[in-house]
A and B are shown apart, each in its own frame.
Chain A
Amino acid sequence: MRALAHPVLREAAQVYLVEGKAWPAYLYFFLFLAAVQVLTLFLPLLDPGGWMGAAQLFKISSVVVLLAGVYFTLRLVNQEYVPWRFATLKRWLGDGLDPDSLLGAQLALVALWGGLFVVAALPLMSWAAAIARAGVGTLASVLLMIFGYFATYGVWGLVALNLWEVRVETRHIAVRLFLGVLFLVTALVYLPLNSVAFILSYLGGTDLGDPVSLFGRRIAPGAVHVFFHGLLFAGGVGLSRWVLARRAGG
Chain B
Amino acid sequence: MLSWLAPLAALLLGLARSSTPPVLAATSTVNLEAEVGFAGRFQLGHPFPLEITLHNAGATTDGTVEVQVWKRGGAKGIDSYPVYHRKQVFLPAQTQKKVRFTIDPDFLSRPLSATLTTPTARARREIDLRAHFSTRPLVLLVSGAPAPLTLPLPQGFASPVVKVPLSELPADPRAYLGVWAAIFYEQPLRELSRAQVFALEEWLLWGGRLLAIAGLNEAVFDDANWARFLPVRVAGRHRIARPETLQKAYGPLPAGEVWAYGAAVVKGKPLLQEQRLTIAAEASRGQGKVVFLSLDIGRPPLARWAGLPKLFSELLGAPPEFRVTWAAAWDDNAFARLLSSRSFLPYYAPATSFAAWLLAYAAAVGLALGYGRKRGVGRRFLIGAWLAIVFCFSVAGYVYFDRGGKPLDGVLFEAVLLEPWSEGYAEAQANIALFSTRQRPYRVKLENGWSHLEMVSPVGAKESSPPLGIASDGASSELDIGVGEWSYKLFRVRAAVPLALSADARARGDRVELEIANHSGRSFAGCWFVVAGKAFFVGDVPARARIVRDFPRGDKAQSSRRGLGDISFDDPVRDFLFRHVFFSDQARPRDMGGGAVFFGWMQDGIRTARPADAKVSPVHHALFRASFSLPDEEEP
Report whether A122 and B347 are in contact in the complex, using a CB–CB cutoff of 8 Å: no
Minimal Cβ-Cβ distance residue in A for B395: A126
Given contacts A130-B400, A205-B484, contact A53 B438 (CB under 8 A): no
CB proximity of A126 to chain B, nearest CB, Å: 4
Residues of A within 8 A of B398 (CB): 126-127, 129-130, 136, 139
Minimal Cβ-Cβ distance residue in B for A125: B394
Q: Does B339 contact A (CB under 8 A)?
A: yes
Measured in the bound complex, the distance between the Cα atoms of B402 and A65 in whole Å is 21
Extra contacts, 7 of them, besides A123-B390, A127-B357, A130-B397 (Cβ < 8 A), are: A17-B379, A41-B350, A54-B350, A119-B387, A120-B390, A123-B361, A127-B394
Measured in the bound complex, the distance between the Cα atoms of B379 and A88 in whole Å is 26
Q: Does A179 contact B (CB under 8 A)?
A: no
Q: Does A45 contact B (CB under 8 A)?
A: yes
Given contacts A38-B354, A41-B349, contact A133 B437 (CB under 8 A): yes
Q: Is the interface of A mostly helix, strand, loop or mixed?
A: helix
Q: Is the interface of B mostly helix, strand, loop or mixed?
A: helix
Q: Does A62 contact B (CB under 8 A)?
A: no
Q: Does A42 contact B (CB under 8 A)?
A: yes
Residues of A within 8 A of B402 (CB): 130, 133
The chain A residues found within 8 Å of chain B, CB to CB, are 1, 17-18, 34, 37-38, 41-42, 44-45, 47-51, 53-55, 57, 119-120, 122-124, 126-127, 129-136, 139, 205
CB proximity of B51 to chain A, nearest CB, Å: 41
Report whether A127 and B390 are in contact in the complex, using a CB–CB cutoff of 8 Å: no
Report whether A49 and B339 are in contact in the complex, using a CB–CB cutoff of 8 Å: yes
> Which of the residues A37, A50, A129, A134 comes within 8 Å of B354, measured between beta carbons?
A37
Residues of A within 8 A of B341 (CB): 48-49
Report whether A51 and B345 are in contact in the complex, using a CB–CB cutoff of 8 Å: yes
Residue pairs across A and B with Cβ atoms less than 8 A apart, 23 shown, are: A34-B358, A37-B354, A38-B351, A38-B355, A38-B358, A41-B349, A41-B354, A42-B349, A45-B349, A45-B351, A47-B342, A51-B345, A51-B347, A53-B351, A54-B349, A120-B390, A122-B390, A126-B394, A130-B398, A130-B399, A131-B354, A134-B485, A205-B485
Report whether A18 and B354 are in contact in the complex, using a CB–CB cutoff of 8 Å: no
Given contacts A41-B351, A123-B390, contact A131 B342 (CB under 8 A): no
Measured in the bound complex, the distance between the Cα atoms of B484 and A50 in whole Å is 20
Minimal Cβ-Cβ distance residue in B for A136: B398
Type the 1/0 row for B332-367, where 1 means its CB is closer than 8 Å to any CB of A.
Answer: 000000011110010111110011011001000000
Report whether A122 and B342 are in contact in the complex, using a CB–CB cutoff of 8 Å: no
> Which of the residues B349, B383, B484 comes within 8 Å of A51, measured between beta carbons?
B349
CB proximity of A202 to chain B, nearest CB, Å: 12
Residues of A within 8 A of B349 (CB): 41-42, 44-45, 50-51, 53-54, 57, 131
Measured in the bound complex, the distance between the Cα atoms of B393 and A48 in whole Å is 31
Report whether A50 and B339 are in contact in the complex, using a CB–CB cutoff of 8 Å: no
Q: Does B569 contact A (CB under 8 A)?
A: no
CB proximity of A127 to chain B, nearest CB, Å: 4
Report whether B350 and A123 are in contact in the complex, using a CB–CB cutoff of 8 Å: no
Instruction: Tell me the total A-B contact number using a CB cutoff of 8 A.
Output: 93
CB proximity of A245 to chain B, nearest CB, Å: 26
Interface residues of B in 468-498 (CB under 8 A from A): 484-486
Residues of A within 8 A of B390 (CB): 119-120, 122-123
Measured in the bound complex, the distance between the Cα atoms of B342 and A51 in whole Å is 8
Q: Does B462 contact A (CB under 8 A)?
A: yes
CB proximity of B188 to chain A, nearest CB, Å: 57
What are the 10 A-B residue pairs with the smallest beta carbon separation, nearest first?
A: A130-B401, A133-B438, A41-B351, A130-B402, A126-B394, A48-B342, A54-B349, A127-B397, A55-B486, A126-B398
Residues of B within 8 A of A18 (CB): 379
Interface residues of B in 73-100 (CB under 8 A from A): none
Given contacts A122-B390, A126-B394, contact A17 B354 (CB under 8 A): no
Report whether A49 and B484 are in contact in the complex, using a CB–CB cutoff of 8 Å: no
Minimal Cβ-Cβ distance residue in A for B386: A119
Measured in the bound complex, the distance between the Cα atoms of B393 and A119 in whole Å is 12
Report whether A127 and B486 are in contact in the complex, using a CB–CB cutoff of 8 Å: no
* Central interface residue in A50, A123, A129, A134, by most chain B CB within 10 Å: A123
Given contacts A38-B355, A50-B348, contact A55 B340 (CB under 8 A): no
Minimal Cβ-Cβ distance residue in A for B436: A133
Report whether B394 and A123 are in contact in the complex, using a CB–CB cutoff of 8 Å: yes
Residues of B within 8 A of A119 (CB): 387, 390
Given contacts A17-B383, A38-B354, contact A126 B345 (CB under 8 A): no
Minimal Cβ-Cβ distance residue in B for A26: B386
Residues of A within 8 A of B355 (CB): 38
Residues of A within 8 A of B383 (CB): 17
Interface residues of B in 387-439 (CB under 8 A from A): 387, 390-391, 393-395, 397-402, 409, 437-438
Residues of A within 8 A of B394 (CB): 122-123, 126-127
